[in-house]
Amino acid sequence: MRILFINPNITSSITELMAAEARRSAAVGTVLVPVTAEFGTLYVENRVEATIAAHAVLDACAAHSDGCDAVIISAFGDPGLYAAKELLDLPVVGVSEAAFLAAYMLGNRYAMVCLTPRLKTWYVETAHAHGLNGKLVAARAIPGPVPDITRAKDDLREKVLAECLRVIAEDDAEVIIIGGGPIAGLAREIGDEIPVPLIDGVSAAVKFAEAIVGLGPRPPRKGSFARPAHKPALGLSPALMRRITGSD
């Protein structure tokens, strides 16, 4: 099984960090194909950046999905997820989508802990967009700035741990999602220090993608996720232009 693993931000070191964590969760025989966005921002934190990232995700899908069995969009907030599902005949899984679904299966009250207030706002909106906010009892951002996003997992470990403990004590959280690609793997590293299940979206997305491929779903031919009709377009990358216009 080959899974296209798309980082919607432009930071290759974050791609490498997330892909390494994804490989820890992948089954024997699963091959990850990591791709970093060709354009966009250092990391995706708000609606503006997410909209730019969605375009980058579609570009990556068009250019790199041939020969793959599934796609993972590896940015919490899932930029471009529904558009990618509509574009491709492959299962497409978002890391927050997978995390929310896993949280639903593990408890009745889940919470999110993330890095910044703007991320918190976007992540809560994402839970609502997926229709998976019914068990969401709290979302918390760590206090203070994030000096270097590429070192967030190491530099902010203790602050994330403290927020996890707070959301259990103050909000009665039964499951906690640690949100954000730059801290992929932290849930595994601090899991023994937290008395409830911790979920890493990257790991959850890998397992869900493998499971969905194993189910062998038929690509949709009707409904809103059926492939759109081809139409003229202008200014797109060559690979995306071929997908949109149907040109060779």
Residues 14 and 75 in one domain: yes
The residue range of the domain holding 57 is 2-95+205-245
Quick one: how far is CA 221 from the chain centroid? 26
User: Domain tally for the chain?
Assistant: 2
Q: What per-residue confidence (pLDDT) applies to 191? A: 94
Q: What per-residue confidence (pLDDT) applies to 248? A: 64
CATH number of the domain that residue 151 is part of: 3.40.50.12500
Q: What per-residue confidence (pLDDT) applies to 149? A: 87
Residues 89 and 120 in one domain: no
Q: What per-residue confidence (pLDDT) applies to 174? A: 98
pLDDT average, residue stretch 215-226: 94
Residues 129 and 90 in one domain: no
| Token pair 């995700």 in the structure block, residue | 57
CA angle 119, 146, 75 (to 5 degrees): 40
What span, in angstroms and rounded, lies between the C-alpha atoms of 247 and 245?
5
pLDDT average, residue stretch 200-226: 96
HEC string of 146-190? Answer: CCCHHHHHHHCHHHHHHHHHHHHHHHCCCEEEECCHHHCCHHHHH
Residues 87 and 210 in one domain: yes
Residues 163 and 236 in one domain: no
Over residues 88-147, the pLDDT tens digits come to 999 999 999 999 999 999 999 999 999 999 999 999 999 999 999 999 999 999 987 888
What span, in angstroms and rounded, lies between the C-alpha atoms of 177 and 170?
16
Residues 102 and 18 in one domain: no
Amino acid at 135: K
What span, in angstroms and rounded, lies between the C-alpha atoms of 238 and 248?
10
Choose the final residue of a domain: 200, 217, 237: 200
- Could you tell me the end-to-end alpha-carbon distance of the chain, in angstroms, rounded to an integer? 27
What span, in angstroms and rounded, lies between the C-alpha atoms of 34 and 21?
12
User: What is the sign, positive or negative, of the torsion defined by CA atoms of 70, 131, 181, 148?
Assistant: positive
Residues 189 and 213 in one domain: no
Q: Does the pLDDT of residue 185 top 80, yes or no? A: yes
**pLDDT band of 172, cuts 50, 70, 90:** very high
Residues 216 and 192 in one domain: no
Amino acid at 183: I
Range in 6-15, 36-45, 146-155 with the lowest mean pLDDT: 146-155
What span, in angstroms and rounded, lies between the C-alpha atoms of 50 and 57?
10
Residues 63 and 104 in one domain: no
Q: 3-state DSSP helix/strand/coil percent for the chain, to nearest 5?
A: 50, 15, 35
Residues 85 and 14 in one domain: yes
Q: Does the pLDDT of residue 181 top 90, yes or no? A: no
Residues 225 and 183 in one domain: no
Q: Is the pTM of this model over 0.85?
A: yes
Q: What per-residue confidence (pLDDT) applies to 145? A: 80
Residues 211 and 189 in one domain: no
